[in-house]
Amino acid sequence: MPTVNGIIIVFNDNKYLLNQPSTYKRQNAIFCSTLENYSVLVFKVFLEKLKMKPIVDYEVAASVDPTPINLLTPGPDFSKYHTTWLEDKWFPFMGFVLGAGSVWYTHTINRRPFYAGLHLKLGAGIIGATALYYYKQYRTSYLADKDAMYRHYIQLHPEDFQAPERKKVGELFKEWVPVR
């Protein structure tokens, strides 16, 4: 931890002189200039005692295997990152809103009271929720069959689906020559 003696800060056996007119403190950082060279402005961050931690703990994502068969196969963490508590409820909810909303809109256009035809709104909402619930099931099974078909084709023809050559970003760009 740095010790402050008047206006001199000693940090890791280096001496720094605080810039009195422009001393700027922000969280754990101090602008200062070195004793040896007054013209150099040094920005030091003291992280020995003040370890900065992320606000939210997160997991580091594993590297993705770019082979097509592995891209189409869900990994062990698929359900962890691609399912939410709202996923199975979203389609029925939107079906109810669209069904009841369409009847409500029709009644509004025809200048009928809000409470007129509550049974129609409720019935249309239930029909819409049921329709979108079964649509979600159909869509899920259709996409699963499609992925299985693609996976099977890739297994039968591996020579057509070679793994792409890994390149660094620096290899992708051409050499840049500035025009001055």
The mean pLDDT values, 10 residues at a time, for the chain of 180 residues are: 48 51 41 41 42 56 69 75 83 97 96 94 98 96 93 91 82 84
Q: What is the pLDDT of residue 179?
A: 87
Q: What is the pLDDT of residue 65?
A: 67
Q: What is the pLDDT of residue 59?
A: 61
Q: What is the pLDDT of residue 100?
A: 97
Q: What is the pLDDT of residue 53?
A: 53
160-to-47, 51, 125, 146, 157 alpha-carbon distances in Å: 52, 50, 49, 19, 6
Q: What is the pLDDT of residue 21?
A: 41
Tokens describing residue 80: 């962890």
CA pair distance 41, 34, nearest whole angstrom? 7
Domain boundaries, the chain: 65-160
Burial class (CB in 10 A: 0-12, 13-18, 19+), 126: middle
Q: What is the pLDDT of residue 12?
A: 52
Q: Is the pTM of this model over 0.95?
A: no
Q: What is the pLDDT of residue 31?
A: 45
Q: What is the pLDDT of residue 153?
A: 94
- Gyration radius (Cα) of the chain, Å: 32
Q: What is the pLDDT of residue 174?
A: 84
